[in-house]
Structure 1
């Protein structure tokens, strides 16, 4: 029989995660930290996910996880009920009945160093990283700017990004001159069109993020801002899971599973073929 005294508890793991991603670093609107679970429950296996949705909750149960570490909050907006006939209620009841705890590191992991955008930048081989929007003098902040070595034109870089990040139905698209040579690249894990002006002020050749909207992107390109590369939200944040999983293994020595379930809402893409 395993000696539970030597096994870390949910509280032990949560305390360590809170030290790595302090909750006070999160935006005021965010909801991070412990969401549900028993603090005294032993942890032998963790599942890391971008989104806690029914599919990843079932994955946690199927792999025998005691704790889910998620990036996106399950309860970002207030709810008046967690009844089992509601979407979020079903997830919550399923996890509680299965003794699976849930922890969230969101915008506090975005600004961390290393954080979400560091993992994204590493996937693309960027060097000499610095924050796009610094929040301290220790390398923390939103987004990252790095040097692309070797430089690539925008067309080549778009294909390179598609080859380096997880595949999704939405794929990778870019805006700008396909022959533009990109030497400096800004990246932001997750939605990033609110930082278009910051990328322009930074003087980078191109900016990569998710969830670019039509009008902000159009006006940015018309204003001769950096070229744009738009990637599915899930794909920009999935690399961080590998980083936090490696750190948890090193800290506690238990098994950590990284979810590759694509939780991007877009599941189908078709390009219109020309008429014969």
Structure 2
């Protein structure tokens, strides 16, 4: 009998493929992407895709026998002077190294990719005729081929803002924060702009492209209020983790097709907000 088994790729080979799909040059200058730690020569049979590399997702990877974690958010975004085991990030680094689990990050380079983070978010909402909310700048490394921040698309059928909020809540991963909407509940929404992750820096862009509504995470009180007062699109605010979790399915599917590895997706909700209470007090307070 001929052995037709295909050897598992090495960490180095998977990193090279991820770098080709999400070039590090596409990342913002302040970002920290690419391989973080791990032995490049070790084989990878199982990959765990996560939004956040935190102790809980690390233990998921160890329990699954993963040789690599592909994370969206950088573990070491800001400079550190120590990875001693008595520090939060140091404990994570030591646990990964001892368990022979490599770590790779695709962050803002995956945000602008096509397909990228916002494409996966748009797909969850059945948007069609997608185009970048903010196309990659002319002359930038990511220029062309539909790349850029956020996406704008058309809903399969127009719906009221209130109904769109309910629809989005049902399509996106459940979190305690849920989905909030700002604007006239009866406003009819046809064109929707979306952005995975924090998106209030693109409020003016959502207005400029003529979107009826804009969905993203981490909207703040004053920017949102001033945007609406200026006649901008209605707003939908979702949990940061929920807006980026859909991308994990897409990249896991790509890894399976590319290498034949077992690519798992973490459904562990790493959003920091864990309780949502609605007040029943109708009194006005001065």
TM more than 0.5: yes
1:155 lines up with 2:162 in the alignment = yes
For 1:105 and 1:115, locate their aligned partners in 2 and report how far apart those are by CA, in whole Å.
Answer: 10
The one of 180, 190, 197 aligned to 2:187: 180
Structure 1 residue 275: deviation in Å?
Answer: 7.3
Greater shift, 130-139 or 39-48, is seen at 130-139
For 1:85 and 1:3, locate their aligned partners in 2 and report how far apart those are by CA, in whole Å.
Answer: 47
Q: Determine the structure 1 residue equivalent to 2:140.
A: none
The one of 212, 227, 245 aligned to 2:219: 212
1:239 lines up with 2:246 in the alignment = yes
What SS does the aligned partner of 1:129 have? Answer: strand
Q: Summarize the Cα distance change of 1:95–1:4 in structure 2 as closer, same or farther, 3 Å threshold.
A: farther
What SS does the aligned partner of 1:133 have? Answer: strand
Structure 1 residue 5: deviation in Å?
Answer: 8.4
For 2:95 and 2:144, locate their aligned partners in 1 and report how far apart those are by CA, in whole Å.
Answer: 43
For 1:240 and 1:275, locate their aligned partners in 2 and report how far apart those are by CA, in whole Å.
Answer: 40
TM-score (norm: length of structure 1) = 0.97
How many residue pairs match? The answer is: 275
Structure 1 residue 7: deviation in Å?
Answer: 1.7
Q: Deviation digits for residues 202-237 of structure 1, max 9, x if unmatched?
A: 111000000000110010011110000000000000
Retained in 2: the 8 A contact 1:183–1:205? yes
What SS does the aligned partner of 2:28 have? Answer: coil
Structure 1 residue 268: deviation in Å?
Answer: 0.6
Q: Determine the structure 2 residue equivalent to 1:224.
A: 231
In structure 1, the gaps of 5 or more residues are: none
The root-mean-square deviation of aligned C-alpha atoms, in Å, is 1.5
For 1:90 and 1:10, locate their aligned partners in 2 and report how far apart those are by CA, in whole Å.
Answer: 22
Retained in 2: the 8 A contact 1:4–1:42? no
In structure 2, the gaps of 5 or more residues are: 137-142
1:140 lines up with 2:147 in the alignment = yes
1:96 lines up with 2:103 in the alignment = no
Matches of residues 1-276 of structure 1 in structure 2 within 5 Å?
Answer: 6-135=7-136, 136-274=143-281
Q: Deviation digits for residues 53-101 of structure 1, max 9, x if unmatched?
A: 0100111001110000000000000000100000000000000000000
Structure 1 residue 273: deviation in Å?
Answer: 2.0
Q: Summarize the Cα distance change of 1:177–1:112 in structure 2 as closer, same or farther, 3 Å threshold.
A: same
What SS does the aligned partner of 2:193 have? Answer: strand
What SS does the aligned partner of 2:100 have? Answer: coil
TM-score (norm: length of structure 2) = 0.94
For 1:273 and 1:209, locate their aligned partners in 2 and report how far apart those are by CA, in whole Å.
Answer: 27
What SS does the aligned partner of 1:6 have? Answer: coil
